[in-house]
Amino acid sequence: MSRVSKSAGSECAAFGCSNTFHNYDGTPSGLHFLKFPQKNPEKRVWCNAIKRIDSMDGFRVTGATCLCQDHFSEKDIKRNPNRWKLVAGAVPSRNLYYSVTPRPSRKEPRDRSTSQLSKEMQENAYSSTTSASSSTSASSLSLENAQASDLGTCSEHDYSLNNESLYQDLLDLREKVKSLEDENSQLREKLFSVDKLKNDDSAVRFYTGFPNFDTLMDVFSYLLPKLEHITYWRGSDTTVNTEKVSDKSRSTKPGPKRKLSLLEEFVLVLMRLKVGLFLNDLADRFGISLAQSSKIFTTWINFLYHELPLLFPFPSRAKIDKLMPSEFERYPSTRIIIDCTELFIEVPSSMRAQSQTWSEYKHHNTWKALIGISPNGAITFVSKLWSGRVSDKEITQKCGVLALMEPGDNIMADRGFDIHELLPPGVSLNIPPFKGTQDQLTPVEAEETAHIASVRIHVERAIGRVKNYHILDGLLPLSLHPIANQIFTVCCFLTNFLPFLVNPANS
């Protein structure tokens, strides 16, 4: 296909070409201009040849776009007296890069040879910055020798001129580093660290509730294999009524790399339970964000809620007999001692919730739970939390403790647990006698009441151990309601790592 010269174009479209159809004075330039193809693929080929892109950088191919004759070879043009034509398939191939200027050649590197004296001064400067034993007097002597010589030096590399100041800067920097190291060491001593618990059993008991560091590590070692695939809590929808939070389908620990080790996370949770520290405080102590500390606590409390009861299953009759203390000689068939305890909570905003959680016994809004212990004082049963309005008898009936009893077992409780009609067949109840219509108890009944109270008191002591976990102190915020059962149950079973309240008879 041919292209003919036209007078429509006033300037060559080639990048950097200054040829125009008319001169500055308006006279024809004498150049032939060849029209730019308007359709692909020829248009695209011409654009690629002149290094331009249609509709980019202010360049647009129109009916007036042309190229001058300087960009075509002789064989591409058919010359006629009145009209020039291009041979079919002709493409611009000459003088296409006017704006590209060749990069100037790199200068030869200048001669950097130095005198022997300059080399010695460089060596002196290097040794002064790397050796702590260099002295100011030696540096001054080197300077005097350099100035006394008339051999000449290269000014660009005369390092010895600043030798004395470099040495002084080095001394100042070393002094500053030593000061910063001392300050860092002092700050580390003030920060909380798990390492501080290793040789301080009193600190272990205070912060974690475990009797010593070895027991803490034994429990952590038991939990560690199950922690390798733990899935961290991400929202309230995964908090309530969740199954185990560990996901064994994962081959690696999910999520980004965490700042705390698993042991540090375990200690963080124990400190929240035992000392009752706020999440903001724990975040500052462990150097993490508030959101991260909340995520760690919620995840671990659900995890421990499912794992700790596996360590303390409801004991068999044979195990109870084996660990029976001598104080229970009068009551050898005792399988469990039960009692209820209440936790103060914030007043709910709902009137119905206020009514359901109001406790006439505590004269406050509470959550109530039933706790059962074995004769040696270990907690063997923990019910879920109920509203404070529910009676002890109703909780006992519905919490499931009676289903664990076997024929021949005896349940010991306080007078408030008048549950004779609820007992399974073959199960007996041992509670202090009632005065009834009498003015006072008979001597036999008074003696029986004293004997029962002397051994039933151990359930009160066990509850006291649970209340030593200070997260249960004061008013429990309603924000903890989704994990309140988990918190209370974990606190109860953690007390079982302490020594027996009552030693077995054969110990």
Give me the mean pLDDT over the 421-447 stretch. 84
The pLDDT, as a whole number, for residue 21 is 67
Going by pLDDT thresholds of 50, 70 and 90, the confidence category of residue 108 is low
Residue 132 has pLDDT above 50, yes or no: no
The pLDDT, as a whole number, for residue 387 is 94
The pLDDT, as a whole number, for residue 85 is 77
**Which range scores top for mean pLDDT: 2-16, 179-193, 315-329?**
315-329
Residue 151 has pLDDT above 60, yes or no: no
The pLDDT, as a whole number, for residue 97 is 60
Backbone angles phi, psi at 118, to 5 degrees: -65, -40
Token representation of residue 180? 């910063």
Residue 99 has pLDDT above 50, yes or no: no
How many CB atoms are closer than 10 A to CB 32?
Answer: 19
Give the dihedral sign, CA 283/288/289/292.
negative
The pLDDT, as a whole number, for residue 257 is 64
Between 259 and 374, the more confident residue is 374
Give the dihedral sign, CA 132/137/141/144.
positive
pLDDT in tens, 395-415: 999 999 999 999 999 999 998
The pLDDT, as a whole number, for residue 476 is 92
Domain ranges across the chain: 1-101, 121-130+141-190, 195-311, 325-497
**Which range scores top for mean pLDDT: 72-76, 237-241, 499-503?**
499-503
The pLDDT, as a whole number, for residue 339 is 95
Give me the mean pLDDT over the 428-440 stretch. 80
- Please give the Cα distance from 167 to 124 (Å, whole number): 11
Closest-CA residue to 434 (of 426, 445, 443): 445
What mean pLDDT is reported for the chain? 80
The pLDDT, as a whole number, for residue 104 is 57
Which residues touch 157 (CB under 8 Å, ≥6 apart)? Answer: 112, 114, 118, 122
Provide the phi-psi class of 30: left if phi over 0, else alpha when psi is between -120 and 50, else beta.
Answer: left
The pLDDT, as a whole number, for residue 33 is 78
Give me the mean pLDDT over the 102-130 stretch. 55
Pairing of strands 66-68, 428-430: unpaired
Alpha-carbon distances, residue 159 vs 113, 129, 144, 244, 309 (angstroms): 15, 11, 14, 69, 74
Pairing of strands 386-387, 334-344: unpaired
CATH 1.10.3470 fits 325-497, yes or no: no
- Reduced to 3 states (helix: H, G, I; strand: E, B; else coil), residue 61 is coil
Q: Is 26 exposed, middle or buried (0-12, 13-18, 19+ CB in 10 A)?
A: exposed
Give the dihedral sign, CA 296/302/305/307.
negative
pLDDT in tens, 17-69: 777 766 555 556 667 777 888 788 888 888 888 878 887 777 788 877 887 87
Token representation of residue 203? 């600190």
Which DSSP symbol is given to 200?
-
- Please give the Cα distance from 113 to 107 (Å, whole number): 17
- Please give the Cα distance from 109 to 93 (Å, whole number): 39
Between 110 and 141, the more confident residue is 110
Which DSSP symbol is given to 470?
G
| Percentage of residues in the chain having pLDDT higher than 90 | 45
The pLDDT, as a whole number, for residue 80 is 74
Helical axes 213-227 vs 201-208, angle rounded to 10° = 50
CB 481 within 8 A of CB 195: no
> Which residues does residue 381 pair with via DSSP β-bridges, in sequence order?
372
Which residues touch 86 (CB under 8 Å, ≥6 apart)? Answer: 1, 2, 3, 34, 72, 76, 77, 78
CB 52 within 8 A of CB 15: yes
- Please give the Cα distance from 159 to 341 (Å, whole number): 81
Between 285 and 104, the more confident residue is 285
Give the dihedral sign, CA 128/133/135/141.
negative
The pLDDT, as a whole number, for residue 150 is 44
List b or e across 118-129, with b for residues whose CB sees 16 or more CB atoms inside 10 angstroms.
Answer: bebbbebbeebe
- Please give the Cα distance from 371 to 394 (Å, whole number): 14
Between 393 and 55, the more confident residue is 393
- Reduced to 3 states (helix: H, G, I; strand: E, B; else coil), residue 447 is helix
- Reduced to 3 states (helix: H, G, I; strand: E, B; else coil), residue 9 is coil
Q: Could you write out the three-class secondary structure of 357-412?
A: HEECCCCEEEEEEEEEECCCCCEEEECCCEECCCCHHHHHHHCCCHHHCCCCCEEE
Least confident of 157-166, 244-253, 257-266: 244-253
Going by pLDDT thresholds of 50, 70 and 90, the confidence category of residue 82 is low
Give me the mean pLDDT over the 324-338 stretch. 92
The pLDDT, as a whole number, for residue 26 is 54
CB 497 within 8 A of CB 211: yes
Amino acid type, 381: F
The pLDDT, as a whole number, for residue 155 is 47
- Please give the Cα distance from 186 to 85 (Å, whole number): 90
How many CB atoms are closer than 10 A to CB 161?
Answer: 15
- Reduced to 3 states (helix: H, G, I; strand: E, B; else coil), residue 501 is coil
The pLDDT, as a whole number, for residue 229 is 81
Residue 1 has pLDDT above 50, yes or no: no
The pLDDT, as a whole number, for residue 34 is 78
pLDDT in tens, 215-256: 999 999 999 999 888 888 887 654 444 344 444 444 445 555
Give me the mean pLDDT over the 208-213 stretch. 94
CB 372 within 8 A of CB 336: yes
CB 28 within 8 A of CB 79: no
pTM, whole model, 2 decimals? 0.63
- Please give the Cα distance from 427 to 186 (Å, whole number): 63
Least confident of 72-86, 294-308, 387-401, 466-480: 72-86
CB 317 within 8 A of CB 405: no
Between 59 and 105, the more confident residue is 59
Closest-CA residue to 300 (of 321, 324, 279): 279
pLDDT in tens, 445-462: 888 888 888 899 999 999
